[in-house]
Amino acid sequence: MDSLTQIVLGAAVGEAVLGKKIGNRAMLWGAVAGTIPDLDVAARYLTDTITATEIHRGFSHSIIFAVLMAPLLGWAVHQLKRRPEVGVRGWAWLFFWGLFTHPILDAFTTWGTQLFWPLDWRLAFNSIFVIDPLYTLPFLICLLGAAFSSRATVQRKKRNWTGIYLSTGYLLLTVVLKGVAFYSITSDLKSKNITYSALSTRPAPFNTILWNANVDTEDAYLISDYSFFDTQPMTWQRFPKQRAAASTIINTSEVQRLIDVAQGWYLLEYENDHWYFNDLRFGLIPLSETESQFVFRYRLEQTQTGEIQVFEDRPDTRAMRGLFELLWDRLKGN
């Protein structure tokens, strides 16, 4: 999830663990704990694009990381803040829950987390977008209400736990909504007699009413979206795989690593004297009423030595000014 959401979650967890003893400082340190796993993004400044992508939401988002780092961070903070009523154990407990709940929340997003690292298994429920106001805003309001309440009052505890309950309830609701969308999407595929080997669904940006779908068929991917307010059948876009045309570039080690990152959901396109690798898991983002681009797209450049260099090719933000309007129109139904 986005940084603000993880800060809110970490602060609420810190309050639940130590708020009664140290007040708002528990929220502060909880927010710090909730931010630490995402420091793995620093890898993009220290290594190449593929390695940084592989590292993201890996070790730092695992149970092992939480178990190892919690006592170390707890000891370090105890040296700075000698609080006999808290002790190393209390600080370690706060950091453990801050570090552990972060990847649990991320597991509900499309990218997922390697919660069970070093096992090569990314846990991704694909039920919530990385920024969802319905998850974050009520949670934030409850947290602020708790922060402005006296430390030892029941009211403070209730406000904090109300935020935790509301956010958790909404998170579970997204799984239910995903199931409803999945049923409608598979029904549409069945009505059109479309044979497929895999289906991936995920919420569109900022909501859980509009859902995106990727379908893997023998020679092409089909991509569409479905809103709970739709009254017409779904319209599918077809993207030929063209694996034979890209066979040379596919067999390079760099592209094979990208394929592993994309979990097999990918397209290779040749444009303007460059190959582009599209990670299909995050779907298309509309740039205008007639144009769209895959959210995660990489430009491949071959050096004179034959090495493939990979560069992120993000959508032009200037062309995305009408994104919210386009999403809103589509969310209202076809």
Instruction: Give residue 305's pLDDT.
Output: 77
Indicate if the pLDDT at residue 318 is higher than 70.
no
Residue 145 scores a pLDDT above 70? yes
In angstroms, rounded to a whole number, what is the distance separating the alpha carbons of residues 283 and 205? 10
pLDDT digits (tens, 9 = 90+) for 103-112: 999 999 999 9
Strands 308-312 and 220-227: unpaired
What are the residue boundaries of the structural domains of the chain, listed by start? Answer: 3-173, 192-331
Res. 290: pLDDT tops 80: no
pLDDT single digits (tens) 84-143 = 889 999 999 999 999 999 999 999 999 999 999 999 889 999 999 999 999 999 999 999
Residues 6 or more apart whose Cβ sits within 8 Å of residue 260: none
* Edge-first strand listing for the sheet containing 220-227: 198-203, 210-216, 220-227, 237-240
Token readout for 299 is 């430009």
Cα–Cα distance, 131 to 282 (Å, whole number): 13
In the structure, what pLDDT confidence band is assigned to residue 321 with cuts at 50, 70 and 90? low
Q: How far apart are CA 265 and CA 55, in angstroms?
A: 19
Q: Are 249 and 275 in contact (CB under 8 A)?
A: yes
22-68 pLDDT, tens per residue?
999 999 999 999 999 999 999 989 999 999 999 999 999 999 999 99
pLDDT of residue 302: 83
